[in-house]
Amino acid sequence: MKRVLHRIDQVNTWIGQLFGWCALILTLFVTYEVFSRYAFKNPHAWAFDVMNMLYGALFMMAGAYTLGKNGHVRGDVLYGFFPPRLQALLDLILYILFFFPGVIALVWAGYNYASESFVINEHSTITADGPPIYPFKAIIPIAGFALITQGIVEVVRCVQCLRYGDWPSRDIDVEEVDVDKLKDMVNVTDADIQEADRYIAKKGDKA
């Protein structure tokens, strides 16, 4: 069982990292489109549709990955002060009452939404000759299914925390910058930073 759950974590991490490349592709595409529009006077009518689909694919397929890394924004003004067991109990209740019903509805509606789009060979209507959008709509139920699988892993984590009194470890992928850790790495103290600030301020006054 543990191996299966770990494999789900790995798959959703791989999917999130794969679709993370959409950010780079989107950046390059926007750069090209702006250059083409203003340098060559050759804008592309379908560019806006492609940008939306790239961002949408990134946003949806990163959901399970972010959930697995505990990276979603939460209102933890009080939650952060709770002991691990109470946190796990609250998370478990919220997963059962809100998360799974909502995501299951997303998969069900998304499947119908995507299948209808494939049947009618749907294209974007924003422009006269818009690109096909049925592949993009197919991502909706896929993203929902990935969220369900990752949600099951998170429920197991909640149960483990309730049982043992502490949260189980997660795979580390990308971490936010820890300022204190960075100071230790480069051997810089707060006094050094304050001295540098005073030096810069003096240089600014002389200028």
Q: Which residues of 163-189 are buried (b: 16+ CB within 10 A; e: fewer)?
A: eeeebeeeeeeeeeeeeeeeeeeeeee
pLDDT at 55: 93
Return the higher-pLDDT residue of 86 and 180.
86
- Those residues with Cβ within 8 angstroms of residue 11's Cβ, 6 or more apart along the chain or in another chain: 149
Please check whether residues 163 and 182 belong to one and the same domain. Answer: no
Same domain, 190 and 121: no
Q: Distance between CA 154 and CA 156 in Å, rounded?
A: 5
Do 89 and 155 share a domain, yes or no?
yes
Is the same domain home to 168 and 188? no
pLDDT single digits (tens) 49-85: 999 999 999 999 999 999 998 888 877 778 888 899 9
Task: Say yes or no: 95 and 189 in one domain.
Answer: no
- Same domain? 103 vs 60: yes
pTM for this model (two decimals): 0.78
Same domain, 111 and 200: no
Does residue 207 carry a pLDDT above 90?
A: no
185 and 171 fall within a common domain: no
pLDDT of residue 155: 95
Which among 3, 7, 2 has a CA at the least distance from the CA of 149? Answer: 7
Residue 204 has pLDDT above 80, yes or no: no
Domain co-membership, 87 together with 134: yes
pLDDT at 206 over 70: no
Over range 121-130, report the average pLDDT.
83
Residue with tokens 């946003």: 59
Percentage of the chain beyond pLDDT 70 is 89
Residues 26, 54: contact at Cβ < 8 Å?
Answer: yes
- Digit-coded pLDDT (tens) for 14-48: 999 999 999 999 999 999 999 999 998 888 888 88
Neighbours of 80 (CB within 10 A): 9
Question: Are 60 and 143 in a shared domain?
Answer: yes
Between 174 and 197, residue with greater pLDDT: 197
- Whether residue 114 contacts residue 137, with contact meaning beta carbons closer than 8 Å, is answered with yes
The pLDDT value recorded for residue 200 is 72
Note the pLDDT tens digit of each residue in 4-13.
888 888 999 9
> Is residue 78 domain-shared with residue 15, that is, in the same domain?
yes
- Range 129-140 average pLDDT: 91
In the prediction, which pLDDT does 176 show? Answer: 58
pLDDT at residue 5, as a whole number: 81
Q: Do 92 and 188 belong to one domain? A: no
Helices (H) and strands (E) in the chain, counts: 8, 0
Please, which pLDDT band fits residue 181 given cuts at 50, 70 and 90? low
Domain that holds residue 182: 178-207
Q: Could you read off the pLDDT of 154-177 as tens digits, one per residue?
A: 999 999 999 999 988 777 666 555
Structurally, the chain folds into a number of domains equal to 2
